[in-house]
Structure 1
Amino acid sequence: MNGISDAAETIDGDALLSVMETAAIAAGRAIMEIYAAGFEVLLKDDNSPVTQADKAAEAVILAALRKATPDIPIVAEEEVSEGQAPAHLGSRFYLVDPLDGTREFVGRNGDFTVNIALIDHGIPVLGVVYAPVRGLLFSGGPGGAREVMVDAQGLPSAHRIITARDRPPQLIAVASRSHRTPETDDYLAGFDIAECVSVGSSLKFCLLARGEADIYPRFGPTMEWDTAAGDAVLRAAGGGTWTPEGRLLTYGRRMQPDSREFENPFFIARGRWSPAQS
């Protein structure tokens, strides 16, 4: 992978992706300790659930990223919920969701992930998604996307390159387990769908990146930290994420008149095929 260039500095993408992977695995270890011991579920101001695991994992990630790249701002879900969003982002910043799929965590179904992404000029250029219950880590950058097995000691073991697939005659769709909407069903009705798989968290993007699914429409609210890491992995695997109007999804939305800070518009993630092929 080449360095990521910027007018102010150049970052070694391989080295930074390694930092992100290590941070995600360490955060997953903190999550699993709390998962095993038991936890209290609280509600944030927006009535979404939060646990000690969200905060413990975020602390691990923030410490690692700030040590490695102290000058790159970090937009992290729990800090933002406490009013600690960076005042200025610049062209490059991180998006961090320390525990994506808190409802899945509370429900103990294993479909939760740790998400870390680097955004450069609105584009997710590096991303790591770690599913600690499954022992699976997905990472992506300019050099491509890969899936890594992580053993019980938290050490990476076997890995393989993953790629999204071209559009087949019949599509496999993925949809949110906790947030599926009638608009999603209406949209999918316009395609020849062989199967629709429900899965939680950013694992939906990873199924597309693996070539095991073809389309993931989301017609409901999401935040940028929910999607950036999975989107980075998918793009590295040859897929992409677009708005319903056919524009590539970008990141760093602030002070929008029609949404909250860092809230995504509706989107459709696809494998290795574009809106023009719909």
Structure 2
Amino acid sequence: MSAATETAPLGTAPARNAVGRSVRDSLVVAKRNLIRMMRIPEVVIFGLVQPIMFVVLFTYVFGGSVNVPGAPAGSAQAYREFLMAGIFAQTVTFATAGAGAGIADDMHKGLIDRFRSLPMSRGAVLTGRTLADLVQTALTLVVLAAVALLIGWRSHENVLKVLGGFALLLLLGYAFSWIGALIGLSVRTPEAATSGGLIWLFPLTFISNAFVPVNGMPPFLQHIAEWNPFSTTVQAARQLFGNTIEGIPSSVTGAWPMEHPVIASALWSLLVIVVFRTLAVRKYRSATA
């Protein structure tokens, strides 16, 4: 009896130690990448310039010409509130290219081989990198939100809902960073990773409800747009920010994700994390075997 009592905890100890070590290793790698980002501030600065340019260009160039259903013709304020959730979502997803390029650069310089020689969890290298990218994305969102407020964007919900909207955006960005990690491990150069990380993002973000209402698209594109995880997160953010517009229906095809965007957004992001983290870690192990 006493022998069984003593050996039971020992059986679970290795599993607990493995999980604990993986978490510690991931945080160490994340810290390394954050220090690297601080030592190269131009990377962060240039990462901020593009989304700010998108905000200014879409607001002042297209804001007066895009008619938002249910709003006065040429209403710039209505378009600002419609637009900003899409810009926020585009910003967090475009960080995917940077994540892929960073991992490809580490592979190209042989840094991954050095990590491999250390007694550390294999998955920690990728997890640490994606966590560091998540911190950078959060910083970018804070600055972008401040710029949006300066040009007239406003939320109409309480603080908790607004924070929930930003949390879903960051979850989407973290999920897509695993796609970037897989791309970075699958190519030979950082340049290829950057191109590979962007080429699929353009149709994903533009065949969506981010910049124009879906009801103006051809019927077959409406179905694609409303089952697009990017569109779902944009709709969830609009709902939580209080930026939905009465003249624009939540769904024109009856798609479930658009009728329940908050739940669907979380489910889409978690599914992407599970699938692409598994593929990325498997690719990492085969690439360094």
TM-score bucket of the superposed structures, by smaller chain: 0.3 to 0.5
TM-score (norm 2): 0.33
- Quick check: which one's helix share is greater? 2
- Quick check: which one's strand share is greater? 1
Structure with higher Rg: it is 2
